[in-house]
Amino acid sequence: MKDVLLIALFAFGGAVCAGVLGALVLRLVRHRSVAVSLTVIAAVAVTAMLAGTLAVAEAMFLSPHDLGVVTLVVAMAAVVSLATALLLGRWVVARSRELSVAARDFGDGGSFAAPSGPATAELASLSRELAATSGKLAASRERERALEKSRRELVAWISHDLRTPLAGLRAMSEALEDGMAEDPERYHRQIRTEVDRLNSMVGDLFELSRIHAGALALSPSRMSVYDLVGDALSGVDPLARERGVRLVGEAVDRLPVEVDGKEMTRVLANLLINAIRHTPADGTVAIAASLRAGAVVVSVTDGCGGIPAEDLPRVFDTGWRGTSARTPVPSAGAGLGLAIVRGIVEAHSGRAVVRNVPGGCRFEVTLPAPA
């Protein structure tokens, strides 16, 4: 038993010396190729075995012949180990370089395609992660392009909508200044109307910028949908009377919701104003609220005649004002109302959709019911 312990002690001491030397070499080559590191590791394993064997041989006073045989065996093992490490290292390096080229391609705006051929589990996992990241980047670039297109359209639409009232204001102010206005009071009223319209447009732009920037601060509290609908209806009643449109809000259940009252009233008011403006005289705009599949659904139905199927996906886009049955009217604003509706509703973890119904269309706002 004592001899076995001595052999183990001498073998361990020799292996530790080889291991310490190998660790130092690994530290020096840590920035080099993985093939070099694998070769060093193989060399350390063989050297540790050889050092342990030599230490035991020296302590046990082996014959020169036996020592030569052991050394030769270890040397052959070293050759095979080093060759295997080099082959494995070159293979791993080649797969890594292929992966680097593929990653560089999708980093330059392309899509990631995993290199063909076998790979280690780590490289295969890295390829899957890069493919997932490539998909996310592609979706992000697509959203960025869509947002940029929306911004350009918005600038064009806003420029057009601002140019018309500003030209009118300038003409009226020059007429008043030159004393050419036959009815100054009418000019003053018209100027006030145009200023109010511009002020409303600027307010919508500010609200939309807050939504897009994620700076819309909500102060939710529990309230009744019935009260929200009542406030919105009372606010748009003068516009409905002016246009000869009937407002119907009898199918509104007294359901609780957890929302920001001010912002949600703006949502309902925007939907109602939009519906009134596109409903002909003697038409009806109906608002309803009910509990559906555990969520509160508020709907506004108008008599616009329907929206073309190709336009339905764009209804909530910034600047959209429609065609055909929903051709914009001079007082319809810059087409920001529905974009604001969607932004506020999504900030409440809800969703806004639109669908055609006989004679018109129905906008639905779905809000999570409070626990």
Q: What is the DSSP string of 152-203?
A: HHHHHHHHHHHHHHHHHHHHHHHHHHTT--S-HHHHHHHHHHHHHHHHHHHH
The pLDDT of residue 47 is 74
Span 222-231, mean pLDDT?
A: 92
C-alpha 172: how far from chain center: 47
Span 7-33, mean pLDDT?
A: 69
- Token pair in block for residue 145: 């392009």
Whether 333 shows a pLDDT value over 60: the answer reads no
Which position has the token pair 């906008």? 363
Comparing 157-161, 238-242, 302-306, 359-363, the range with the smallest average pLDDT is 157-161
84/183: higher pLDDT = 183
Residues 6+ apart with CB under 8 A from 151: none
Percent of the chain with pLDDT over 90: 25
Contact 369, 255 (CB under 8 A): yes
Whether 223 shows a pLDDT value over 70: the answer reads yes
Span 365-371, mean pLDDT?
A: 89
Whether 1 shows a pLDDT value over 80: the answer reads no
Say which amino acid occupies 340: I
Whether 138 shows a pLDDT value over 50: the answer reads yes
Contact 308, 369 (CB under 8 A): no
Whether 321 shows a pLDDT value over 90: the answer reads no
Alpha-carbon gap, residue 295 to 369, rounded angstroms: 5
Span 264-271, mean pLDDT?
A: 92
The pLDDT of residue 56 is 67
10/24: higher pLDDT = 24
Q: Residue 286 pairs with which residues in a beta bridge?
A: 248, 301
The pLDDT of residue 142 is 82
Alpha-carbon gap, residue 132 to 130, rounded angstroms: 5
Alpha-carbon gap, residue 50 to 52, rounded angstroms: 5
Instruction: Identify the band that residue 324 occupies on the pLDDT scale cut at 50, 70 and 90.
Output: very low
The pLDDT of residue 328 is 41
Span 66-76, mean pLDDT?
A: 72
The pLDDT of residue 26 is 66
The pLDDT of residue 335 is 65
The pLDDT of residue 210 is 81
pTM over 0.75: no
Whether 291 shows a pLDDT value over 80: the answer reads yes
The pLDDT of residue 105 is 67
Residues 6+ apart with CB under 8 A from 191: 169, 172, 173
Tell whether the torsion through CA atoms of 128, 130, 135 and 136 is positive or negative. Answer: positive
49/367: higher pLDDT = 367
* Helix 261-277 with 337-347: angle, nearest 10 deg: 150
The pLDDT mean for the chain works out to 79
Highest mean pLDDT (candidates 311-320, 329-338, 359-368)? 359-368
Percent of the chain with pLDDT over 70: 75
The pLDDT of residue 68 is 74
Whether 241 shows a pLDDT value over 60: the answer reads yes
Residues 6+ apart with CB under 8 A from 275: 285, 300, 301, 302, 304, 363
Q: How many CB atoms lie within 10 A of CB 302?
A: 27
